[in-house]
Amino acid sequence: MAGMPRRRALLIVAAIALVVALLDQVSKAWARGWLTPGHEVTVIPGWLWFRLASNSGATLGLGTGLNELFAVLALIVVGAIAVLALRGNVGGLLGVAALGAVAGGAIGNLADRVRLGGVTDFIEVHLWPTDFNLADAAIRLGVVLFVLALVLDWTRRPGRDSLGAGRER
């Protein structure tokens, strides 16, 4: 699939990022206003709970206390996504939308890190190893969809028998 116009790709990334970041911040404000720390609220018995928590590290408790490092990494990720969108050919519309989800999640968690000194987590799912929030879900889903978009784009290219095939040299 030919790359979409750069301006269109950047606008799609920005629009999706804005929606994801806003939904994330609204949901976290609700969680901070209505949930009590340490108290679980059952949403779907045996599968889904809300429990307010704060996280100054990354997923699975990695890097606890390294809030500033993760804030800088979020800025780098958002900048890299802007560059990818401007360069074009990032897996078509699906790839561009996926990058928007990742950027929005990074921005949502960055806002928490800057304002609160850590990320607000409140969603707990059965068999998932850690609490998370909508930004985390958008990042994970965005990464999976971006990889899928790249694979689909690669399989549609003519002469893809070797690595690097389909690239102009």
Question: Annotated catalytic residue: which of 121, 131, 153, 161?
Answer: 121
| pLDDT band for position 168 (cuts 50, 70, 90) | low
Question: Is 121 one of the catalytic residues?
Answer: yes
Per annotation, catalytic residue among 24, 112, 131, 136: 136
For 113-159, what is each residue's pLDDT tens digit? 999 999 999 999 988 878 899 999 999 999 999 999 999 988 887 76
Start-to-end C-alpha separation, the chain: 18
The reported pLDDT for the residue numbered 1 is: 42
How far, in Å, CA of 1 to CA of 42, rounded? Answer: 45
Kindly state the tokens that stand for 127: 């068999």
- Tens digits of per-residue pLDDT, 47-102? 999 999 998 877 766 777 888 998 999 999 999 999 998 887 788 999 999 999 99
**What is the value of pTM for the model shown?**
0.85
Rg of the Cα atoms in the chain: 18
